[in-house]
Structure 1
Amino acid sequence: MKMAIVLSILLATVLGAVAYGRRTRKSATLAEWAVGGRSLGTLIFWFMNAGEVYTTFAVLGISGYAWALGAPAYLAFCSVSMSYAVGYWLMPKIWKAGRLGKLVTQADFFAARFDAPWLGVITGVIGIASLIVYVQIQLVSLGLIVQLTLDDTISSRAATIVAGLLMIAFVFVAGIRSAAFAAGVKDVLMIVVVVLLSATVASKVGAGSLLDIFGMVEAKHPGIGKFPGLDASSPTTAIWLMTSAINIAFGNWVFPHLFQMSYSARSATSIRRNAIWQPLYSLAYFFIILLGFAALLANTHPPGDNLNAALLQFVSERYPSWVIGLVAGTGFLLALAPGALLLVAAGSIFTRNVVRPFAPRLSEAQSLALSRASLVCFAGVAVYLSLAQKGSLVKILLDAYSAIGMLAPAVFLGFIWRRTSATGVLAGMLAGFITLLAPFSAHYWGTHWPQWEPGLIAMAINAGVTILVSLVTPAPAPAAIGIGLLDSAAPATTSRSGYKLGA
């Protein structure tokens, strides 16, 4: 029964996604494939937006963090709400810039706003690297779900490889419209699963109510509900919570696939409506954390004490096969729907911003074919990284946010300060990456500011250097500035980067 439910969910979703994508497809172009013709309405944009917030990280990563550490899982509450507060201001600006400049990728914005094609190449490579790390999160989780579905009859290595093949197959038939449809199905199923498990979990662990679970887990593990959590020596203090949440909020909409998602909206109104109501979704984390605590009360021990598998192990031990099938089928979609958008973004960036500057004569058909071929390679790299990954999904996510956060100062400054220059952006990124990655920097921050999220420190230094260098270097051409400062009166013209701006 379990396998039948999983296959039914997957087949029905894939067939529906393909039918929806074909019904609304205007033409087989890279722009249509990558940004859906810039015509996604409020409802479908809602599901696609939620699909990028509620992935396998949300369910498996946060429940596993609650199982292993306790209070640090509260990070989910803060980061989601703060991200949408930032998104309410930032996403409409990204949307309008995309309309004005006919932009398809995030790297298009950097090349156009700062009038520097070379900066588009550099930021394109950084964006692809961050997307691969994000795909890794989905693959780690998908591999665990494959193992659960097949009753651990295959190894974790084989399960991860199968997960990679499934994601590649899905993204080839998806495109951004089909991925949005799958995200809608996934969101509905996720709510069903969370409600079903939460409504029955108390009886599974001998509690009288949901609130009793919190009291029982605190009695069994004193201090689990306050920072730093179960591990008294952990740096996951209140300072860690605040700095990590701020880092996520500033970095969230700078991810390349979320830039493209902003381009795809039909209107700025659709974006703002989503930003207002989406934080309500963060309430679901209460129940996800609750399930992690329940797994701890039930003495759940996933293979190798893998915290990412704690919830799956708990469900497989305490629930009937049809519930396991529903959870596994939903888990497949939790990984496949966002994974599709991640790989679509990586493929389109590679073609438009890494290859096309050196091969400008590529046709639309060649560009689309190259994008699809490149995402297979990127998925392969993500599979390779996933096979060697032993850390938590939360740790992988924070690393991804730290990396993409090096583009955040340029994005924010590009929209509010006309003096921001390409040279300043490059200098800021170099300073930020040195702060983040150099061994001597890591040692310094670990010794002197151990509770601070390193990515936020690096982002602050990046912003300071960007401002200082921009003050002493030439500003971009007025037409280029017009794509960021949308109230500028710059005339319609074409900048050196080749984009028609200011119209």
Structure 2
Amino acid sequence: MILGLILLIVGGTTAGSILYGRRKQKRAQSMEEWALGGRKLGTLVFWFLNAGEIYTTFAVLGISGFAWAYGAPAYLAFCSVSLSASVGYWLTPLIQSYGRRHALVTQADFFAHRYRAPWLGVCVAAAGLVALVVYVQIQVTALTLVVRLAAGPGISAGVAACVAVALMVLFVFLAGLRAAAFAAGVKDILMLVVVLALAWSIAGVVGEASVLDVFRSVSERFPEAMRFPGLKPELGLDTTWLITSAINVALGTYIFPHMFQLCYSADSTETIRRNAVFQPIYSLSYFFIILLGFAALLAGTQAPGGDPNALLLAFVGERYPAWMLGLLAGTASLLALVPGSVLLLTCGSIFSRNILRPLIPSIDDRTELLVSRIAMVGFAAIALYLTLGASGSLVEIGLSAYAAIGMLAPGVYCAFLLRRTSAAAVLAGLLAGYAVLWLPAFSLLASTWLPHWERGLVALIVNAVVTVGLSLLLPRRAFAFAQPA
């Protein structure tokens, strides 16, 4: 039954996505059609696709497992989503307008054009690919759990991960951005149905009278779970960590290359603003997701192998009938496949357009599109390699991705706020930020001076100070830049 429901949900959604994509547009013959949906995504389609990139397996499997393992630090989900929408309301229309005006396809195109420095576009492309591959790893990790659940205990984690990557690559080859938008709509509806159904029945399942009683019982039996720093105080996940992590996520959400590309795909700035106004409504679902993690803690559920990412699947498998587990697993598959496909699509676009084209300027559009599709397989293989060697929770992996992509944030914000910013200043800021993020000596210094701060935010601040400082100190004639939107 579980396998049948997974196949029905994934197969039916994939078929519907392909039919929808072909009905809306002819087979993509250009990067703009394939990667941006022809820049014609309206309010409803853009809503589901944007939500599909924000509410992934990180949201459902990751946050519920994080609540079970750490307790109150899972409240990070509430803060970050609303703050991200506030930043997006101002930033994303500017990105959309600039991208449409100058026919940009990727984030690296923006940096190369805005700062009149093709070499900076190459550097940004490389930096963006690093963060994207880490984010693909999240989706592969979650899809691997579903594959193991469907195939049974006889399949190893390595084989399951290979199957997961193959499914993701197949999905993105069959679909395009517009087809992925259809799948995102199906995924979002299923996610809300499953989460609400589980939350509606959760009190009775764990022997409580109401949802509030679940929280009350957790506060009595596990008081550390209801306050900071949570169940593992030695990790330092206190309110300082919460605030700095939420700010870092908010500043970095729309800096991801795939979110940049998503902004380009909107048909107007009004579409984007409308989406930002209503997007925080989705954050209400996190109340129920965290509730499920706390209920599993109350029920004494143990995650298989101590892996918090598998906690929700294990809990539902113990306490609910097989059809509910199958519905959850099928939905989790879409939660991984849809954003994973867009992430891989973005990786391919960046590689062909911003890494290969500068090396081979004579490449035509059809060859560029072919290379983009082939490159996706390579990036999927890298994500597979990272998945096989990973052991952290989806939330921890996600925060690592946000820390990496946050290094591009000063360059984006300065593009619209400080006209005299130069490519050299942006590059210097990048190098300073990555030094704080990845070099042990600088990381130790940052954690000593600013204990419990999210390291990604510390690196971002250093990056911004260097970028803005150099921009103001160097003579104005040293700067050449394109006019921002």
Q: CA deviation at 1:351?
A: 0.4
Aligned twin of 2:19: 19
Aligned twin of 2:431: 430
Query: Distance in 2 between the 1:58 and 1:475 partners?
Result: 45
Task: Spell out, residue by residue over 1:378-422, the C-alpha distance to the aligned partner (whole angstroms, 9 max, x if none).
Answer: 000000000110011111111111110000001000011110100
Query: Distance in 2 between the 1:318 and 1:262 partners?
Result: 41
Alpha carbons 2:348, 2:376 under 8 Å: kept: yes
Aligned twin of 2:3: 3
Query: Distance in 1 between the 2:256 and 2:236 partners?
Result: 26
One-letter amino acid of the structure 1 residue matched with residue 108 of structure 2: A
Q: CA deviation at 1:450?
A: 2.4
Q: CA deviation at 1:231?
A: 1.5
Aligned twin of 1:353: 354
Query: Distance in 2 between the 1:291 and 1:409 partners?
Result: 37
Task: Spell out, residue by residue over 1:118-145, the C-alpha distance to the aligned partner (whole angstroms, 9 max, x if none).
Answer: 0000100111111000000001111111
CA separation of 1:475 and 1:346: change in aligned 2, threshold 3 A: farther
Q: CA deviation at 1:481?
A: 2.5
Query: Distance in 2 between the 1:153 and 1:83 partners?
Result: 42
What SS is found at the alignment partner of 2:224?
Answer: coil
Aligned twin of 1:493: none
Query: Distance in 2 between the 1:475 and 1:316 partners?
Result: 63
Q: CA deviation at 1:329?
A: 0.5
Q: CA deviation at 1:476?
A: 4.5
Tell me the TM-score normalized by structure 1. 0.94
Alpha carbons 1:61, 1:394 under 8 Å: kept: yes
Greater shift, 100-109 or 211-220, is seen at 211-220
Task: Spell out, residue by residue over 1:244-272, the C-alpha distance to the aligned partner (whole angstroms, 9 max, x if none).
Answer: 00000011100000000000000111100
Query: Distance in 1 between the 2:259 and 2:110 partners?
Result: 13
Query: Distance in 2 between the 1:146 and 1:475 partners?
Result: 55
One-letter amino acid of the structure 1 residue matched with residue 25 of structure 2: R
One-letter amino acid of the structure 1 residue matched with residue 144 of structure 2: G
Alpha carbons 1:420, 1:475 under 8 Å: kept: no
What SS is found at the alignment partner of 1:266?
Answer: coil
Query: Distance in 2 between the 1:231 and 1:324 partners?
Result: 29
What SS is found at the alignment partner of 2:243?
Answer: helix
Matches within 5 A, 1:435-474: 435-471=436-472, 472=474, 474=477
Task: Spell out, residue by residue over 1:20-64, the C-alpha distance to the aligned partner (whole angstroms, 9 max, x if none).
Answer: 111122442111111111000000000001001110000011000
Query: Distance in 2 between the 1:476 and 1:39 partners?
Result: 35
Alpha carbons 1:5, 1:322 under 8 Å: kept: yes
Greater shift, 213-222 or 18-27, is seen at 18-27
Aligned twin of 2:381: 380
Query: Distance in 1 between the 2:119 and 2:306 partners?
Result: 46
Query: Distance in 1 between the 2:287 and 2:36 partners?
Result: 33
Aligned twin of 1:417: 418
What SS is found at the alignment partner of 2:175?
Answer: helix
Aligned twin of 2:125: 124
Query: Distance in 1 between the 2:11 and 2:455 partners?
Result: 42
1:287 equivalent to 2:288? Answer yes
Aligned twin of 1:326: 327
Aligned twin of 2:272: 271
Query: Distance in 1 between the 2:366 and 2:20 partners?
Result: 22
One-letter amino acid of the structure 1 residue matched with residue 5 of structure 2: I
Query: Distance in 2 between the 1:208 and 1:151 partners?
Result: 35
* Structure 1 alignment gaps of length 5 or more: 487-503
Greater shift, 127-136 or 300-309, is seen at 300-309
Query: Distance in 1 between the 2:131 and 2:20 partners?
Result: 29
Matches within 5 A, 1:231-270: 231-270=232-271
Aligned twin of 2:138: 137
Greater shift, 119-128 or 361-370, is seen at 361-370
Alpha carbons 1:142, 1:335 under 8 Å: kept: yes
One-letter amino acid of the structure 2 residue matched with residue 2 of structure 1: I
Aligned twin of 1:215: 216
Q: CA deviation at 1:445?
A: 2.3
Matches within 5 A, 1:31-50: 31-50=32-51
Matches within 5 A, 1:94-133: 94-133=95-134
One-letter amino acid of the structure 2 residue matched with residue 402 of structure 1: A
Query: Distance in 2 between the 1:450 and 1:32 partners?
Result: 47
Aligned twin of 1:63: 64
One-letter amino acid of the structure 1 residue matched with residue 113 of structure 2: A
Query: Distance in 1 between the 2:248 and 2:10 partners?
Result: 35
Query: Distance in 1 between the 2:306 and 2:447 partners?
Result: 26
Alpha carbons 1:41, 1:266 under 8 Å: kept: yes
Query: Distance in 2 between the 1:8 and 1:63 partners?
Result: 25
One-letter amino acid of the structure 2 residue matched with residue 44 of structure 1: V
Aligned Cα root-mean-square deviation (Å): 1.0
Q: CA deviation at 1:86?
A: 0.1
What SS is found at the alignment partner of 2:227?
Answer: coil
One-letter amino acid of the structure 1 residue matched with residue 59 of structure 2: A
Answer 1 or 2: which has greater helix percent: 2
Task: Spell out, residue by residue over 1:143-168, the C-alpha distance to the aligned partner (whole angstroms, 9 max, x if none).
Answer: 11111122333112211111111100
What SS is found at the alignment partner of 1:102?
Answer: coil
Aligned twin of 1:497: none
CA separation of 1:475 and 1:45: change in aligned 2, threshold 3 A: farther
Q: When the two structures are aligned, how many residues end up with a matched partner?
A: 482
Task: Spell out, residue by residue over 1:159-208, the C-alpha distance to the aligned partner (whole angstroms, 9 max, x if none).
Answer: 11111111000010111111111101000000110011111111111011
Alpha carbons 2:106, 2:350 under 8 Å: kept: yes
What SS is found at the alignment partner of 2:233?
Answer: coil
Query: Distance in 2 between the 1:151 and 1:283 partners?
Result: 34
Q: CA deviation at 1:475?
A: 5.2
Task: Spell out, residue by residue over 1:299-324, the C-alpha distance to the aligned partner (whole angstroms, 9 max, x if none).
Answer: 11122111111111001111111111
One-letter amino acid of the structure 2 residue matched with residue 130 of structure 1: A
